[in-house]
Amino acid sequence: MRNGHFGLLSVFLVAAVAGSACSNGNGNGNGTPGGVAGTPPTAGGSSNSGGGGASSGGAGPTCTGLTPCGGSVVGVWNVSSSCLKLSGDMDVSLASLGCPSVPVVGSLTTTGSFIANADGTFTDNTRTTGTATFPLAPACLSISSVQRTCEQVSSIFQAVGWTNSTCTSTNGQCTCVVTADQPGGLGTLSEVETTKGQYSTSGNLLTTDDTVTPYCVAADKLTISPQFPALTGTVVFTKDSAAAGAGGAGGTGAGGSGDTAGTSAGGTSAGGTAGTGVGGTSQGGGAGSGGSGGQTPVAALPCDIYAAASASCVAAHSTVRALLRAYAGNLYQVKRASDGTTKDIPVLSPGGFANAAVQDTFCMGTTCTIMKVYDQSGHGNAVEAEIPGLVLGNGANAHEGYKNNTAANAAKESLMVGGHKVYALYTNQAQAYWRDGSSTGMPLGASPQSVYVVTSGKHFSNGCCYDYGNGEVSRLYVPGNSMDALYFGNGTQWGSGNGSGPWVMADLEGGVFSGLTTGKNEMLISQPFTYVTAMEKNNGMTELALKAADATAATLNTYYKGRLPNGKSPGQKQGSIVLGSGGDCCYSNANASYGTFYEGAIVAGYPSDATDAAVHANIVSTGYGK
């Protein structure tokens, strides 16, 4: 599906040196902000066109400017006041609507505390709440170039940071009310709720895992200016002098109790069986070391299983493990921020798991991002980050990534799989990976194709569109049947399923299909599991199938198997590979979607149900989370 253009609703714009600050400590404004009760101005114009309601705000909070000055943020900080006003044009382009911005009125309030430890870790106990109102002109009522009703666009705003959103049409005017209730974020609304992690300061900017905020520390006051479209104002914190020393000590203590590694842990396991201790770290004890070591022959892996069924993997990607038992190469490549050098992360042994220790050593003391995920199929279909400065595509379709896009943090999620520490490809908004595989084996036209992934039912979005599969080679919207990709998320702008999601669906361009239609499929059950197997199969002419399961449970469930949706035959696949976005992303725009990718493959062919079950059984035997 098509993604939003021109800007990012949840990107934290750091170019502005001055934000706005609250002129006094009342700063609530979260009741009925000035202008909200009135008629919103007409959508689509400039920030001042449409009226004083959006920009003057009447009874809304009055805020003054902040001059960022930097300073040390170490300590325990309690919110003493906040004044955050929404007015003017709010960028909604990331929501993939037909208009790039809407005139908004509203306000937010931040309460709680923020703890910054001397070791660079933080605990964000803030909470941001509030309400905003804006109109949607008729030109806005489309998502990904597909016409939608006022009510159908409602949920898209939850993908860009709002907790709830309702759009209603009255006398031909569509009006939306959105509310925020977000833990963490330091006053910035985001699709990601991060309450613990790493922080850093540079100049006048405070950077946490998911926010970049101008700030100033003066005596016992910390003032920040959250960055969000159409938002002005500040949050003021007062230092808790009684807790500050304890906070610092807590940070240090946490580092020690976190078993700075293996020293204390090694001491503990030394009492166990071992000396061979490395296996001891997995707590698998004797059983772990007995089963590892690479001396036991590797069983058939997913792409071996497909090949035995005459359905070859043409793209096979994973940051976790090999997907063919003979594969002995690299899984992915990381780049470290400190000096810009890259490192390939290999498997431990043929058919084995990722050697995460290589990443840990290379990235020690700095931040690493995942630049590419290698293709294990032999077709050379590595997917690479769609970021500025990196040109992807061929000929007239060669473009660098969109200006605001970034590569995924390589250490954002670590996990245990089969007794081994490994890392996920954990993407946020404005992060996606791509390759033109049209001349390197990807199915084209009406050729049959199957896709499987192992993903997460804990990190997903309703933004357009977290896909893995076959998309446009131009990275522009092409009407028709130009896509064939597996979608995973809880978007309801097109198809949906039973419960609140996430669901596995098919992105066939022009809509995300829950089965025969883009409507609700009550047979499509939510997949809220930590690790999820998801499959989408399309024979290109007559049949579509959707399957999913807990990746640690035996039964693979079929939620749809039947004829292709009307108008979706024959297929018109173009042969690019999308991972994390829809098909028309991400050189002229960015994606509102996010998710977690552990492994997956694109297969030329339409495997049998028995083959699908065998692939899932292998995933279960791999031991995700163990």
Closest CA to 488 of 516, 469, 510: 469
Q: Which DSSP string do the residues of 345-369 spell out, in sequence order?
A: EEBSSTT-BB-HHHHHHHTTTS-EE
Closest CA to 231 of 402, 104, 53: 104
Residue from 484, 509, 536, 612 carrying the catalytic annotation = 509
3-state secondary structure of 287: helix
Closest CA to 8 of 586, 409, 458, 597: 586
22, containing H or E segment: strand 19-22
- For residue 46, count CB atoms less than 10 angstroms from its CB and return exposed for 0-12, middle for 13-18, buried for 19 or more: exposed
| Distance (Å, whole) CA 21 – CA 110 | 13
| Distance (Å, whole) CA 456 – CA 461 | 11
Closest CA to 574 of 494, 476, 504: 476
| Distance (Å, whole) CA 27 – CA 62 | 8
The number of beta carbons lying within 10 Å of the beta carbon of residue 13 is 13
Per-residue DSSP letter, 278: H
Q: Which CA distances in Å does 225 have to 188, 233, 435?
A: 9, 6, 38
Instruction: Please check whether residue 222 is in contact with residue 236, taking contact to mean a CB–CB distance below 8 angstroms.
Output: yes
Residue from 386, 484, 550, 584 carrying the catalytic annotation = 584
Instruction: Please check whether residue 530 is in contact with residue 458, taking contact to mean a CB–CB distance below 8 angstroms.
Output: yes
Q: Which CA distances in Å does 455 have to 452, 487, 539, 615?
A: 10, 11, 23, 15
List, in sequence order, every beta strand (DSSP E) within 219-260: 221-224, 231-239
Catalytic (active site) residue 584? yes
- For residue 275, count CB atoms less than 10 angstroms from its CB and return exposed for 0-12, middle for 13-18, buried for 19 or more: exposed
Question: Active-site positions?
Answer: 509, 584
